[in-house]
Structure 1
Amino acid sequence: MTDFALDDLDRGIMRELELDGRRAFREIGRNLGTSEATVRARVKRLQDQNILRIIAFADPASLGRTQLGIVFLEVEPDQHEAVVEAVSALPEVTYVSTILGRADLCVEVLSNDNNALWTILNERIGRLPGVRRMETTTVLKVHKLRYQSPTGP
């Protein structure tokens, strides 16, 4: 994945950006005891290596999409990658991960309402070749949404 090892400065820059992705490189440099140019170069390198992405989260409720479903899929082993690609291509799917346990995939689906969620689950995801079983739960309220890398060794 990378041609280089991350050092303490790389990790520090990422921590600073996790706290505020719009933080100025000058401020990050000041906080970490390095120059703005060094921070800029490090961020570019981390982005070029696909280690770092700076993204924005919009509040789904403010956009009219208010039903969030978490779907656990059990898939045929030889169809795993095909199901991942097909589910990831759906515009209503916001998150896909391979997991261990009763299910093989965890999929987050954002829809306008329960009827739309039902349609997505039953007419699109559930009909995908390779999907054995589907278990769904709906999210009533999100209390925290944040990704932060571990700070340990």
Structure 2
Amino acid sequence: MLDNTDRRLLRHLQADPTQSVADLARASGVAASKAYKRLERMEELGVLKGQRAVIDWHALGYAVEVSLRVSLDKTEPQAFDRFIAAAREVPEVTEIQTFLGRVDVRLTVLARDMPHYQHLYRSRILTLPHITEIEALMHVATIKDVEALPL
């Protein structure tokens, strides 16, 4: 699927996603037109999922981050889909992950402070449908946060 040229492009893109296609091509040892076509192809294949700004929410006053482990009612056939649909509507839920096992879903919730979190928890989280169990894990520190892997 990917050859060495694609991997070189991806390595340089991972290292600095802000560089232009011309700079990326130069660093990868290919012509800019070739780099552009390969990046476009990798996007079409779903290898590249786009570019986005990474915002430091703590710098913007969101001091509380909580992971919620949620177990859902497994006797209700539509419980999972209804829960996910409702959770997506809560703006402060910034991440939703699903699991196999006792815990079905993990939500990441951001809040400005503890009173804001308590309000969100009571008014938006506890009202989500089909919850049978919920466990809150208060985020203390991020030790490692990278999406880059060796290519």
Q: Structure 1 112/17 Cα, relative in aligned 2: closer, same or farther at 3 Å?
A: same
User: Does the C-alpha gap of structure 1 residues 141 and 45 become closer, same or farther in structure 2, counting only changes over 3 Å?
Assistant: same
Structure 2: how far apart are the matches of 1:64 and 1:26? 37
Q: Which amino acid aligns with 2:139?
A: V
Aligned to 1:90: 90
Report what 2:62 is aligned to.
Answer: 65
Shift of 1:104: 0.9
Give the C-alpha shift of residue 18 in structure 1.
2.1
Show the 5 A alignment for 1:66-81.
66-77=63-74, 78=77, 79-81=79-81
Larger Rg computed on CA atoms: 2
- Confirm or deny that 1:43 pairs with 2:70: no
Counterparts of 2:4 and 2:72, CA distance in 1: 40
- Which structure has more relative contact order (CA 8 Å, sep 6+)? It is 2
Partner of 1:124: 124
Report sequence identity in percent: 24
> Per-residue deviation at 1:49?
4.3
User: How far apart, in 2, do the equivalents of 1:100 and 1:150 lie?
Assistant: 28
Using the size of structure 2 for normalisation, the TM-score is 0.82
**Letter paired with 1:113:** D
| Structure 1 residue 72: Cα displacement | 0.9
Distance 2:94 2:102 in 1: 21
The residue matched to 1:86 in structure 2 has which SS? helix
- Structure 2, unpaired ranges of 5+: none
CA–CA distance in structure 1, aligned partners of residues 125 and 11 of structure 2: 36
Q: How many residues align?
A: 147
CA distance in 2, matches of 1:37, 1:43: 10
State the SS of the aligned residue for 2:33: helix
* Alpha-carbon separation, structure 1, partners of 2:14 and 2:115: 35
Q: 1:32 maps to what in 2?
A: 28
Structure 1 unaligned blocks of 5 or more: none
In structure 1, give the amino acid aligned to 2:52.
Answer: I
C-alpha RMSD of the superposition: 2.1
